[in-house]
Every structure is written in C-alpha cells, then in structure tokens.
Structure 1
Amino acid sequence: MDPATIGGIVLAFGALVAMIFLEGSQLTSILLPAPIILVLGASIFVAVASGTLKDALQAVKALPRAFVGRPARPAEAIDEVVHAAEIVQNDGGLLALEAESQRTEDPFQRSALQSLADGADADQLRTLLEERIETKAREDAVAYGFFNAVGGYAPTIGIVGTVVSLTHVLENLSEPAQLGHMIAAAFIATLWGILSANFVWLPIGAKLKRVSDLEVERLTLLLEGYMSIQAGARPRVIDERLRTMVPDEPAPAAKAA
C-alpha cells in the first residue's frame, strides 16, 4: 500500500480546515448541502455522460488502486526475468519455462513464458507482448481519464451553482439584512467545484496514471528481458541491460572470483 494519495488528500483538507479556523470562521459555513450535492453529483454524472457506462464502471473498479494499490517495482520484474534466464541456462533450454509459466499468477508473464516454451519466433513474441502492453495502457487510460474529466467539469459546475444562487439573491433584494449571508452562501458552490477538482478528482486521476505508467514500465522490462532470453543472452547480461533501463536501479555488484 502506498499512503501518498490518501495522506496527501487528508493533509490538504486539514490545511483548509486550519485556514477556516485561523480566519475566525466556522467549518459549517462551507458545509452547505445544496451546493455540495450539485457539484459532486453533477460533476460525476456529466463525466459519465461524456463516455460510456462501461467506462464509468471501469473507473470505479480502478479507484481502490489510487489508495491501496501497490505500485509496480521494476526491480522485481528484473529479478523474475533473470530467474527465468537461469532456468533456461541450467535446465536445458526454453522448454523448461513451461513449468515456470504454470507457477506464475501474472497473465502477462504466463503468456510470455508459455510462448517462449512453445518456440515462438522473435517477431511473433515481440508483437504479442507489445499488443498486450498497449491494451493494458488503453484500459488504464479509461480509468484515470474519467477522474480527470470529473475534475475538469467540477469548477464549471460550481460556477453554475453560484449563478443559480445569485439569481435567488437578486430575487430577495427587499431583504437587505439577509443579502450578505445569501451572497456568501452563493459562492460556496464555486468553492466546492474548485476544491473537489484540486483536492480529490485530479489527484486521483494523476495517481492512477502514475500507477499505470509504473506498470507499463514493468511490463516493458519483462518484454525486453524475455526477448533477450529468446535471443540466448546469459542471465548476467540480461540483468545488467535491464538495470540500465531503470534510472534509480543500481547495477548489481560484481561477484568475487
């Protein structure tokens, strides 16, 4: 679990609450049901309207990854590829990877290992794996694109709520004692539009995109590693090559003779 998203959102709202109290105001002054319902509800519904129902369901399904998902680690992918290369080297060739393919729960790795064991040529293998990576990236783009869309609509819908409220204010100019409160309440919709976009929806969209980018990076490392195995490279060479593809991953220390 990566606590960055939930921790960041909680701290952001904490900073808002601190400002409210430091200004001598009350938290209840921004917790007005009508603008909150309009901004949150309409923002989500127009985002649903901008795509398909399947897109929205896919986004909801992906939402937990922004809070409790474990980001992919490239180093683990490198270790798995090197392990597969060692099996090929020590157990007599690519056919030995068939048993290994049955032990992994990762569909991408299972498919790649089985293809290697079946003797797929280099072009076929690369095409197969690249298409799987591209499909994964497109699926992820639907999810984070949905939350980015919600974040894009929310501020404008907040303005719509403010205009509606100000219309109500103009209908009650005969009550000057109430105008200050009514005008302040009118701007709460704009506040929640900007607030929800920048404190919730856009951070979630950005986090899901980052998680997707890390997963695509992991799959790309696996792709290049399996292609190296298919080409007959030795485990040590594969290890060094893959680590050069990861900026923050140090090369392994040389073993003593």
Structure 2
Amino acid sequence: MDIFSLIGIILALVALVGGSILKGAGLSSLWSSAAFVIVILGTVAAIMVHTPPAVFKRAASIVMWVFRPPTSERAELVARIVEWSNIARKQGLLGLEPLVNDQNDPFLKKGLQMLVDGLEPEAIRHMLEIDLSGQEHEDLAAAKVFEAMGVYAPTLGIIGAVFGLIAVMKNLADPSKLGHGIAAAFTATIYGIASANLFFLPMASKLKSVINGRSREREMIIEGLIAIAQGENPRNIESKLAGFLH
C-alpha cells in the first residue's frame, strides 16, 4: 500500500471540505448534481471519445497502482539472478530448466526460457527489449488517460459555470435567486479545477513513476540474463546489478 498516495487523497478532500467551511460557504455549496453531470460525466464522455477501448480498459486496470503499486523486491531479484549464474556455471544453462515454470512474472519466465534454449545474448536482448518497449508504451498510454482527464475537466467546469450564469441571467427579475444561482455556477468551476489538480493530474504522474520503476526493473532482468548467457562471473553480475538498486 502506498501510504503517501492515500494520505494525499485524504488531505485533498480535507482541503476542499475544510476550505469551504472556513470560508463560510458550507458543505452544501460543494454539492451540485448539475455540476457533477457536466464536469465528471462530461469528462468521462470526452475521454471515451479521446481514447481507444483497449487503452481505456488498461487505464481502468492500472488505476489501483496509485494506491497499491506492483510489488518490487529488486534486492531479492538480484540475489535470484546471481544464484542462477552460479547454477549455470556449475551445471550449464540447462541446469536452469527446472526453474522456468517456477517464475510468476511472464517477462522473467520468457527470458529464462530463452536462456535455457541457448539463444544468443543479442537475440535475447533484442526480443526482451521489444517486450519491454511494448509494455511500457501500453502502460504510459493508459497513464495519459488520466492526464487527458486533467485537461478536459477544467474546461468542462467553465462550461458548467457558463450554463449556471445563463440560468442566472434568466432570473434577473427575481433578485432572491441571483445569489444562489451565481454560487451554483461557480461550483462547476470548483469541480473541474479541483478534480484535475487534486486527483487526475497527480494520479497520472504517480502512474508514470510506477511504470518507469517497472521498466527499470525489467532492464535489470535483461542485463542479468545477458550476463549469465555470456558466462560472466557471479560476483561481477552482482556488482553490475547493484547499480539498479539505487
């Protein structure tokens, strides 16, 4: 669990609610069904037009990475790769074959299988880098969905405010409705700006950080497997991979 993200979301809500109370606007000013429909549903509608279905589904599947990123035990992974290099030096690459099906990570499993199959180091690197690039591209496209939502939401907030002001203009003959109407108009602006800057854009940045970390880990796997294929000394492999731990 990423405690920082959870605390950030809680503080964002506290800032909105607390700010509204401290400014004298009250809690009721933060709720408007019309603003919700225009800004939130409008943003979702815009992003569905903006995004291919596959990317939208991937974005929905990785959104929880903001709070619960994929586990990464790089030190343990380095130790495992060094252990494989020791096995390969003593028993040959075929000695790693019983370990292939024990790997839960498809990327790691594929790389280890290619190592056992005796592929040339450059062939292993080429194929794994294609997989890495493809997965990274897919995940970054999904993260950009939330970035785009952070762009659309403020604009739709302005549209909501304009609609509210139109309603106010229609009731100029009744001064008792003007104050409430203007307040409701600006609620849509709050929805748009707050959702973009407190939720959508920070979520996109956090997801990009997680994706970059996963890519870095896969780069480490590639370098470790290539070093084993080239028959490097296990101590040298450990020293090389140690740079990925920082």
> Same fold by TM-score, threshold 0.5 exceeded?
yes
Contact preservation (8 Å) 2:216, 2:244? no
Specify the code of the residue in structure 2 equivalent to 1:160. Answer: I
Output the CA distance in 1 between the equivalents of 2:188 and 2:76: 46
Q: Alpha-carbon deviation of 1:73? A: 4.0
TM-score of the superposed pair, with normalisation by structure 2: 0.95
Aligned counterpart, 1:106: 105
Q: 1:136-155 maps to which residues of 2 (within 5 A)?
A: 136-155=135-154
Output the CA distance in 2 between the equivalents of 1:2 and 1:73: 15
Q: Alpha-carbon deviation of 1:6? A: 2.3
Aligned counterpart, 1:221: 220
Higher helix fraction: Structure 1 or Structure 2?
Answer: 2
Q: 1:79-98 maps to which residues of 2 (within 5 A)?
A: 79-90=79-90, 92-98=91-97
Aligned counterpart, 1:57: 57
Output the CA distance in 1 between the equivalents of 2:129 and 2:101: 21
Deviations 1:109-150 (A, max 9, x none): 111111111110022111011011001101101210111111
SS in 2 for 1:187: helix
Output the CA distance in 2 between the equivalents of 1:174 and 1:127: 73
Q: How many percent of aligned residue pairs carry the same amino acid?
A: 35
TM-score of the superposed pair, with normalisation by structure 1: 0.91
Structure 2: runs of 5 or more not aligned:
none
Contact preservation (8 Å) 1:154, 1:193? yes
Aligned length in residues: 246
Q: Alpha-carbon deviation of 1:237? A: 0.7
SS in 1 for 2:231: coil
More displaced, 98-107 or 68-77? 68-77
More displaced, 46-55 or 20-29? 20-29
Q: Alpha-carbon deviation of 1:204? A: 1.6
Superposition CA RMSD, Å: 1.4
Q: 1:175-214 maps to which residues of 2 (within 5 A)?
A: 175-214=174-213
Q: Alpha-carbon deviation of 1:25? A: 2.8
Q: Alpha-carbon deviation of 1:7? A: 2.0
Aligned counterpart, 1:38: 38
Specify the code of the residue in structure 1 equivalent to 2:10. Answer: V
Contact preservation (8 Å) 1:162, 1:187? yes
Specify the code of the residue in structure 1 equivalent to 2:93. Answer: L
Output the CA distance in 2 between the equivalents of 1:140 and 1:224: 22
Structure 1 segments, 4+ long, off by >3 Å, are none
Aligned counterpart, 2:4: 4
Contact preservation (8 Å) 2:150, 2:197? yes
Aligned counterpart, 1:252: none
Contact preservation (8 Å) 1:122, 1:227? yes
Specify the code of the residue in structure 2 equivalent to 1:243. Answer: A
Deviations 1:25-69 (A, max 9, x none): 311111111101211111011011012122212211122222223
Contact preservation (8 Å) 1:73, 1:214? no
Q: Alpha-carbon deviation of 1:3? A: 2.2
